Amino acid sequence: MGAGVIQKGDSGGRRRGRRGRRSPPMSEINVTPFVDVMLVLLIIFMVAAPLLTVGVPVNMPETAANALPTDNEEPLTITLTAEGQILIQETEVAASDLVARLTAISAERESDRVFVRADRTVSWDSLATVMGDLNAGGFSNIGLVTDIGDPPMAEENG
């Protein structure tokens, strides 16, 4: 039979207890699984998104109900000129008659939308007064019309 030599302190290539060579703590986050999950979700949403927008063809029954109102009306515009004139569409109106005319117009219209066009030299006080008259006349959906383009802020402040 063969005899072997046992050396003291040798554990046959195994680690020495808990105090042996310990690996340092990992200070980096492994983002590979996160990226994998995000790519799978991206593919799922890319495939599912077109399916959400496609409608199912249905042969609808016919009824005697009226159609929903649409914006078939010509948009109402109020214009304030640099000379102080107030125009409804293209008709000049006195400031004292504005509320009465607007009330009559709002009774005939389905929409409460109105667009206000004002010259850049019109004072804020005049514009605010006309907007208050619009509200008193029954128009609460007021839009301010401007020209397209960047304002010359640098030149004015210059």
Question: For every residue of the chain, which 3-state class applies, written as one string?
Answer: CCCCCCCCCCCCCCCCCCCCCCCCCCCCCCCHHHHHHHHHHHHHHHHHHHHHHCCCCCCCCCCCCCCCCCCCCCCEEEEECCCCCEEECCEEECHHHHHHHHHHHHHHCCCCEEEEEECCCCCHHHHHHHHHHHHHCCCCEEEECCCCCCCCHHHHHC
Percent of the chain with pLDDT over 90: 12
What mean pLDDT do residues 132-146 have? 86
Q: How confident is the model at residue 66 (pLDDT cuts 50, 70, 90)?
A: low
Looking at residue 113, its pLDDT comes to: 86
Q: pLDDT for 1-29, tens place per residue?
A: 556 656 555 555 555 555 667 777 778 88
